[in-house]
Amino acid sequence: MRKFTSDWYQGDREGTHGRSNHFHEEPQTSHACRGSRTREDVATPPLLGQGASGSPLTMSMDFKTYVDQACRAAEEFVNIYYETMDKRRRALTRLYLDKATLIWNGNVVTGLEALTNFFETLPSSEFQVNMLDCQPVHEQATQAHTTVLVVTSGTVKFDGNKQHYFNQNFLLTAQPTPNNTVWKIASDCFRFQDWASS
């Protein structure tokens, strides 16, 4: 079953060591570019295959690199997102696109202003993530922008409420700058696993 999809994957096991310097950078080094952005930004090194004009990644880039980039973005994102949610709640909306939409336990919240109000009124939180997965979203569904699907799960305790298991997914879109790629949330879907008994 575990066939190698050799069309995409050209490398071998040693291939990971031979990658370009772009992918040797650890997530922390992206913070060195702090001068051009805020602390909450989710940033990764510039995407391979990305033109200066921000044209989408072409499929000629090998699948492995595509996946690597998505994973890097997802891990960086999840670290920043939940820490911001728990400890710097007011800064959370900076991670969202202007027209982003949040569906929170079946309630829809659209646009930065509504999101700001929403997060302000949500009680303080303590998140614990025990599952993370991500996939690059196919170009056919995104056309204009490189997008990554991020899926998380874990537990959350909101102040004054009982602990819940939660499931969440995000669509992150890439916004390239000369020095790096900044990822922002286009959509966010959150639900308690036991929402019906909440």
Q: Which amino acid is at 31?
A: H
The full DSSP string for 13-82 is GGGGTT--GGGTS-GGGGGGGGGGS-TT-EEESPPTT--TT-PPPPTTS-HHHHHHHHHHHHHHHHHHHH
Q: How far is the CB of 49 from other proteins (least distance, A)?
A: 16
Whose Cβ is closer to other proteins: residue 177's or residue 192's? 192
Q: How far is the CB of 195 from other proteins (least distance, A)?
A: 4
Work out which of 6, 13, 18, 60 binds other proteins, going by CB under 8 A: 13
- Residues 91-150 close enough to bind other proteins by CB under 8 A: 99, 101, 103-109, 113-115, 117-118, 120-124, 129-138, 140-143, 149
192 touching other proteins, by CB under 8 A = yes
Q: How far is the CB of 147 from other proteins (least distance, A)?
A: 8
Work out which of 1, 18, 20, 21 binds other proteins, going by CB under 8 A: 1
Among 122, 126, 15, 106, residue whose Cα is nearest residue 67: 15
Pairing assessment for the beta strands 96-104 and 181-192 based on DSSP bridges = parallel
Q: How far is the CB of 41 from other proteins (least distance, A)?
A: 21
- Residues 61-80 close enough to bind other proteins by CB under 8 A: 63-64, 67-68, 71, 74-75
Q: How many residues bind other proteins (CB under 8 A)?
A: 73
Q: How far is the CB of 23 from other proteins (least distance, A)?
A: 9
Whose Cβ is closer to other proteins: residue 53's or residue 107's? 107
Among 62, 19, 27, residue whose Cα is nearest residue 45: 27
| Residue 26 tokens, joined | 């650890």
Question: Which residue(s) pair with 147 in the sheet?
Answer: 173
- Residues 19-58 close enough to bind other proteins by CB under 8 A: none
Work out which of 91, 126, 167, 177 binds other proteins, going by CB under 8 A: 167
In SS3 terms, 127-180 reads as EEEEEEEEEECCHHHHCCCCEEEEEEEEEEEECCCCEEEEEEEEEEEEEECCCC
